Amino acid sequence: MTAGVRLIIMGRQGAGKGTQCQRISRHYVVPHISTGDILRAAVREGTELGKMAGQVIKAGRLVGDDIMIEIIRERLEQDDARTRGYILDGFPRTVAQAIALDAIAAERPIHVVLDLDVPRELVIQRISARRVCRDCGTNYVATTQKRDPWICDSCGGDVIHRNDDTPESISQRLDLYESQTSPLLDFYGRDGRLVEIDGSVSPNEVFGTLTAAIDHARKNG
Ligand code: AMP
Q: Is 27 a domain residue?
A: yes
- Catalytic residue, chosen from 75, 130, 193, 218, is 130
Q: Is 130 a domain residue?
A: no
Q: What's the domain range around 55?
A: 5-118+181-220
* Number of domains comprising the chain: 1
The finding on whether 22 has its CB within 6 A of some atom of ligand 1 is no
* Ligand 1 mean position, distance from CA 56 (Å): 9
* Catalytic residue check, 120: no
Q: Is 33 exposed, middle or buried (0-12, 13-18, 19+ CB in 10 A)?
A: buried
Domain of residue 35, CATH code: 3.40.50.300
Q: Is 196 a domain residue?
A: yes
Q: What is the DSSP letter of 47?
A: -
The finding on whether 85 has its CB within 6 A of some atom of ligand 1 is no
Q: Is 68 a domain residue?
A: yes
In this structure, are residues 124 and 170 in contact, taking their beta carbons and an 8 Å threshold? yes
The finding on whether 90 has its CB within 6 A of some atom of ligand 1 is yes
Cis peptide before 149 (omega within 30 of 0): yes
SS3 31: coil
* pTM of the entire predicted model: 0.84
Q: Is 176 a domain residue?
A: no
Predicted confidence pLDDT, tens digits, the chain (221 residues):
456 899 999 998 889 888 899 999 999 999 999 999 999 999 999 999 999 999 998 887 899 999 999 999 999 999 999 999 999 999 999 999 999 999 999 999 999 999 999 998 888 888 888 899 999 988 898 887 888 889 999 999 999 998 878 878 888 888 888 888 889 999 999 989 999 999 999 999 999 999 999 999 988 86
Q: Is 15 a domain residue?
A: yes
Q: Is 141 a domain residue?
A: no
C-alpha–C-alpha distance, residues 12 and 16, integer Å: 9
